[in-house]
Structure 1
């Protein structure tokens, strides 16, 4: 174990406080109704909900992954945070005014109301549940590998501690426990990351000195305005990545939309997003700065390129830095480990709360045996659902720990599924003439095609090359991994485990200089959600054109954007058009009948005579009208 008594004390306080918050709200909410348990009675304040939203998104992998990204690849990905802020503002202005007044618990109730299709709604829910449980497993496993270095506890024990802790307080306290525990964990995360930034700044002579070192090491890059879609990162690609990340995470994902559903008005729901955008930009900024601090520290003796190091993964630099630097300051390692645990607990508890909402609202609520229960008894059932979801999440965490490099595939597939979901909601909100068949076909086909693209990328793209990393200033002979404390651990096993830890973005892609223009699989991973969104929308339009558009009476105008509805009302060509096949067959039948009538008139001279004075022509016209 690499933690002192002070470190263990601080770390234990962090865990106990999170559990205590859950127990407190659990005791207060013993008689809570389903609405109070899942949404806090729609009376919660925007600021704590915003903090919960931020830390529910920023996981331990974000702390390690983003810092490693800045260290090895530079700051271009930082632009993603600008895209996230813009995307959150779009959700606040465009989606919340439509979604919140519907008074939903499950976001996907909107899909059923808009398309009048329960099967489409449940299809989206099943997809979210499947991805959510796998995501919980992923949230638990990679940090547990890193924590093995600090605590000395086996990976399985770390998974169990994290999973059991957040399951207990999530089950007992409901959304209030999750939210207020998240507020505490946000403070722990900020303090833990700031420990790296402040200590590094003091040691290196200030942030300006760190920035100068990073600049001369070619780490500072923000304004690569190249329009090529085959680069790993550019200004436009990272901006797009952030925008679609925000739309998928805060616009069409139950785990985060449940936060603004818990407020008392549309205005308050919007303020949740405004506060969260500011909090996200700040938290990600100090995480990114931590990566530059670590680069300044290791600039002359990089641990990644050590000849004996098989862990060619930038995320491990965080572990190296904490073990080499923070362990020398009493309590600092404990604070950082507490931050890692806090990041895991906040993200997992958010998922558990949202999984429960989906299971209850979309499947169990209408079952007769449950519908006859009292409100308090329904609340008890939901607590049981959280416990069950926690057990399932733990099982996935343990299963994922045996899957090795499956992590990268898991993240890539998860990313491929966000685009089609965004496309489905955009079609629902902004294309009122699109029918259920078009939406369903667009959603399913876009998932299939997007998975095809992502699997192609996974199997064909080469890893990106790091920026220049130097070992010129390493002592001779070099100490193993430049971190003496790592020598006390089983390096052979932990190395194989850590190599699979990924960043918060997609896996590293082909180097910009090695890509092949025109190759579908060579496109930047930043655009994967874009393709899924566009494919879903295009297929939905085509299928609707074939199967027939909605009429004004087919949908409730409250379910779509006001400007889109006004356009729909004015554009009669879009309203209630019959299926294309039926239209073609009808016109063909009419044409054949008309030709038959004309042929008969030619063989009958009296018909020609009648036509000359207009009577026969009137008969033909009347016949066409009847048809």
Structure 2
């Protein structure tokens, strides 16, 4: 049962009005209508239409869909909370976008030319091993399932905590509607729904920032308050590289460069999106156009955070007991100050879309598990498409169910966050091995995935088990209204990484280093095991399955054939004499 929280100005809990319900319901109906439209247009089409849109999409909607796939409730709620309670130092991750052009130039053309539906099919082709493909695909599905559960649960819980909107209604409504329009409409429905929802999301963040600045008397006032309290300014940046410090410029940049490279180089959701474009030029543009959108959205969430801090400078809702988690600060502000704008509270429920992940999970499951089974091969193309749609629907419902478990078992949220960072690093390492290190083999790739992921999980779960939580910047309750009863101080201070002694202290590793840790461990293990097990002895690696930069290290079959023919001719001449 959620406890009641109170509005600052009126001393009562915020509530959804009927216009809020109408707007929120209308946006869900429009999303469903998009799915129905594309379901009717492609009802007799095959899996290529359902999973790849017949490879006919243009760059702009695909680019916006890529952004919407990764700008979820976790950023919309977590970004402002980060700026509010930790400063805007996190904004430097925008510089991590430098890896996006690298992914576009080096990795994207390579996969685009292979014409794959599942990116993990490449691993089987390269390593001649189905095990590597299944392990990689399984990790992706598990990671995405848990991530989607958090994406549904987090905004629903945050809004329910500060309003009268029922938690279960929001989760079921968003989860079921997204599952249905994804299952019936396919990739085109997902892409155009993502475009619609991203526009709504940007408009909502603009509304929060502009209304807040106007109410406070201008951006200069907001900046002065934030700078005085160390939320902005040169003094907030820490430049040293410290594995145990939560955020430094170096930590953030190293993590973001690697994770953005993993995101755009070898993640199923991304590869599937740009593979759906009508040409290589559109694929290039779809990736490059994500950069301004990412920078805009990250900047908006940081701006929203300092606007919220300036608004509640004298009475922090978390310290005052009006909210229980820092991620509830933006929904609290919306209900407290912007509830007069119809539909705006519903934004934080709509942003919990899971359609992109569901479509990608269906693609991986069908292509990697079922497509080559004798019973499935003999099916008609339309029957295969129907089965894939049922798989997508199943994953959508499963994610919705896991969202309810996330409310009952808090460890699931920690598991989802660990999977997101812990899987991406090792996965990038394995794809780099496959593409650029021709001597690596399937044993090395499998060991790299398993050990690299396990290493990242060990540190993540170790930190959770010890109860390590980040330290918040100081806030004030000096100006809280008299009708608010401040909560008593905690019985014991929270555990900080700096308070621990070795060996426990190693579990204080910054969360920003989990991805890089998994990457380095996987790369070292993969190379070492490959060398230890005879490299690729006895296995022929096709030149088309490694990057053109390293094809020189493999024998050219055409030249080998010419050499064999020349030797055969020479031998035949010599035998005559």
TM-score (norm 1): 0.81
Instruction: Provide the secondary structure at the position in 1 that maps to 2:319.
Output: coil
> Which position in structure 1 is the counterpart of 2:350?
342
Q: Counterparts of 1:105-254 in structure 2 under 5 Å? A: 105-149=117-161, 152-220=164-232, 223-254=237-268
Instruction: Provide the secondary structure at the position in 2 that maps to 1:256.
Output: helix
Q: 1:148 & 1:401 partners in 2: Cα distance?
A: 12
Matching of residue 301 in structure 1 with residue 310 in structure 2: no
Q: Counterparts of 1:380-391 in structure 2 under 5 Å? A: 380-391=386-397
- Residue pair 1:4, 1:330 contacting (<8 A) in 2 also: no
> Which position in structure 1 is the counterpart of 2:89?
76
Cα deviation code 1:365-384 (max 9, x no counterpart): 11222212222222222222
Alpha carbons of structure 1 residues 375 and 413: separation in structure 2 relative to 1, 3 Å:
closer
Matching of residue 258 in structure 1 with residue 272 in structure 2: yes
Runs of 4+ in 1 over 6 A off after TM superposition: 515-518
Q: 2:29 & 2:463 partners in 1: Cα distance?
A: 43
> Which position in structure 2 is the counterpart of 1:396?
402
Q: Counterparts of 1:470-509 in structure 2 under 5 Å? A: 470-475=476-481, 477-479=482-484
Deviates more, 1:35-44 or 1:227-236: 227-236
> Which position in structure 2 is the counterpart of 1:320?
332
Alpha carbons of structure 1 residues 267 and 522: separation in structure 2 relative to 1, 3 Å:
same
Matching of residue 270 in structure 1 with residue 284 in structure 2: yes
Query: Which of 59, 67, 83 in structure 2 is aligned with 1:54?
Result: 67
Alpha carbons of structure 1 residues 349 and 259: separation in structure 2 relative to 1, 3 Å:
same
- Residue pair 2:136, 2:449 contacting (<8 A) in 1 also: no
Alpha carbons of structure 1 residues 413 and 171: separation in structure 2 relative to 1, 3 Å:
closer
Cα deviation code 1:538-579 (max 9, x no counterpart): 112212222222369721222222223335679xxxxxxxxx
Greater Cα radius of gyration, structure 1 or 2: 1
Matching of residue 41 in structure 1 with residue 49 in structure 2: no
Alpha carbons of structure 1 residues 515 and 58: separation in structure 2 relative to 1, 3 Å:
farther
Root-mean-square deviation over aligned CA pairs: 2.3
> Which position in structure 1 is the counterpart of 2:103?
91
User: In the TM superposition, what is the alpha-carbon distance from 1:247 to its structure 2 partner?
Assistant: 2.6
Cα deviation code 1:1-45 (max 9, x no counterpart): 712333333222211111111111111111121101110011101
TM-score (norm 2): 0.87
> Which position in structure 1 is the counterpart of 2:31?
18
**Count of residue correspondences:** 534
User: In the TM superposition, what is the alpha-carbon distance from 1:430 to its structure 2 partner?
Assistant: 1.6
Q: Counterparts of 1:399-418 in structure 2 under 5 Å? A: 399-418=405-424
Cα deviation code 1:109-144 (max 9, x no counterpart): 111111111111011112222222222222221222
> Which position in structure 2 is the counterpart of 1:616?
none
User: In the TM superposition, what is the alpha-carbon distance from 1:439 to its structure 2 partner?
Assistant: 1.6
Cα deviation code 1:306-362 (max 9, x no counterpart): 1x4571x211211221121002x342xx1242x2233112xx001110111011111
Cα deviation code 1:376-407 (max 9, x no counterpart): 22222222222222222222222222213441
Alpha carbons of structure 1 residues 461 and 423: separation in structure 2 relative to 1, 3 Å:
farther
Instruction: Provide the secondary structure at the position in 1 that maps to 2:344.
Output: helix
Matching of residue 361 in structure 1 with residue 367 in structure 2: yes
> Which position in structure 2 is the counterpart of 1:438?
444
User: In the TM superposition, what is the alpha-carbon distance from 1:516 to its structure 2 partner?
Assistant: 6.2
Instruction: Provide the secondary structure at the position in 1 that maps to 2:352.
Output: helix
Alpha carbons of structure 1 residues 48 and 516: separation in structure 2 relative to 1, 3 Å:
farther
